[in-house]
Amino acid sequence: MQNDLGKDKINKLVFAIAIPCMIAQFVNVLYSVIDRIYIGHIAEIGNLALAGIGVCGPIVTMIQAFASLVGVGGAPLCAIALGEKDQRKARSFMSNSFILLSVISLLVVVVLYPWQQDMLYLFGASDATIPYAQSYFGIYLLGTPFALLSIGMNNFINCQGYAKTGMISVLIGAIGNIILDPIFIYMLDMGVAGAAIATVLSQLLSCIFVLGVLFKQRLTVNLRLEPLHLDYCLQILKIGFTQFIIIAFDNIMIIAMNMTLKFYGHEQADLLIMANTVAQSFMLLVTMPLGGISGGTQCILSFNYGAYQVDRVKQAWKYISKVCIGFEIIMFAVVWLAGRYFVYLFSSDPVVIEQSLTAIRIMTLFIIPLGLQYELVDGLTALGAVRLSLPLSFFRKGIYFAALLLLPCFFGATSAFLAQSISDLIAPIVSSIVVLRSVDNILQWRLQMKPIDFDKEQNEQCTQG
């Protein structure tokens, strides 16, 4: 069922799109979390294997950032074009995004595969954990095209108002992973390599579904391959660069954290990296669904911005911000009421459990303001205001790296976990000030671009397909 982005009531529309996107991203987290749960319980080698996967995690997610570079870049442009009633342009943005994703995914495999061992050592692997890290990463890397195409092109299903269909595509992959993981890890006794194979096969299933919907199912615009349009490609990369930087730097932050823990942790380094792996798994449960809400609802802002309905843009932006903050309040309560039970999923070692729980509680001290930060930056991106969204993203990362560099020097390795909370507090304050001072100018400029003969009745026909 398609949601009418230009006519439905805002509160109904936000929930109709935000909830499926949130569930989809929550389920998407299961790809990595389930792998880590199964791997952490492998007899005798579970803890070391978990640390090895922890080193791979941020690199894998950083590779997936290329899906956001193109998907999050192209989908708002597609939605804006639909709001302008220009289906030809919308279809062209989709086609160019598909070609870009295909080329980038192949380049990632060719460039990274020969350097995987050196890269894993650089990003925190030790002699004890490198066999497990390389076993997982080498297989996962070969499945990169499936991952990037399924994640990136799913945005073009969501941006047309088919949020539930987008959710189903993620559910297919996650359920496949849940079923295949124990088969390959335990029944076939393939260990860490089995977890990687299960993940790749699951991503293949999701990819087949997404492309099948875009090519075959009757949408407002379907995927039809066209020649590359250089100007459209540049626009896609320009809009998507903010989200790419956010995801890439989030994972550079994790990599830097592992390197810091390895340097300052000394004999406890592997323990601290194991704890960080568990803590980052929980942070995925915080940030991925949050990103599903703020990123999935971009289509509402983009479409109405394209349709010159600035009052609906303001109304939706405020409502989405409240939903994001509400979600983070719930997750903050989960940390303190059920955080220990989450840690039990990964290990039965009491030392690992206590260290992991401490890391989670430190890192989530200010996740409530983080909800506002996500929506402010994603909202600006949805309106094409990358000149503001990109610096605000860099600002948050800069605070994190400054804290990560300074705190362990004075307070020891464990204090590195506090860098996350410091950045999550300061960045939303600055972002709020910037958005409040600039949003009216952005929307007034859009109104000045409105053609005299723009027909709102045709807009309704376009949104309903």
How confident is the prediction along the chain (465 residues), in pLDDT tens digits per residue?
556 777 778 888 888 888 877 877 777 776 667 777 777 767 666 677 777 777 777 777 778 788 888 988 888 888 888 878 888 898 999 999 999 999 999 998 998 888 888 878 877 677 777 888 888 888 888 888 998 998 889 888 888 878 788 888 888 888 888 888 889 888 888 888 888 898 899 989 999 999 999 988 777 888 888 888 888 899 899 888 877 877 777 777 777 887 888 888 777 787 888 888 888 888 888 888 888 888 878 888 888 888 888 888 888 888 899 999 999 999 999 988 988 888 887 777 888 888 889 999 999 999 999 999 999 988 888 888 888 888 998 898 899 999 998 998 888 888 888 998 999 999 999 999 998 998 888 888 877 777 766 555 454 544 444
Q: Note the pLDDT of residue 229.
A: 87
DSSP 231-265: HHHHHHHHHHHHHHHHHHHHHHHHHHHHHHHHHHH
Place of tokens 């206590």: 354
Q: Note the pLDDT of residue 461.
A: 47
Q: Do residues 112 and 134 make contact, with C-beta atoms less than 8 angstroms apart? A: no
Residues 179 and 449: their CA atoms lie apart, in Å, by 52
Contacts of 1 (CB under 8 A, 6+ apart): 162, 164
Contacts of 397 (CB under 8 A, 6+ apart): 245, 249, 250, 252, 253, 423
Q: Note the pLDDT of residue 453.
A: 60
CB count, 10 Å around CB of 188? 13
Residues 103 and 41: their CA atoms lie apart, in Å, by 38
Type of residue numbered 212: G
Instruction: Output the CA angle 98-35-210, nearest 5 degrees.
Output: 25
Residues 260 and 438: their CA atoms lie apart, in Å, by 38
Three-state secondary-structure class, residue 6: coil
Q: Note the pLDDT of residue 1.
A: 53
Q: Note the pLDDT of residue 462.
A: 45
DSSP 382-450: HTT-HHHHHHHHHHHHHHHHHHHHHHHHHH-GGGGGHHHHHHHHHHHHHHHHHHHHHHHHHHHHHHHT-
Place of tokens 């615009």: 221
Type of residue numbered 48: L
Q: Do residues 168 and 157 make contact, with C-beta atoms less than 8 angstroms apart? A: no
Instruction: Output the CA angle 359-361-364, nearest 5 degrees.
Output: 105
Q: Note the pLDDT of residue 327.
A: 92
- The secondary structure of residue 183, as a DSSP letter, is I
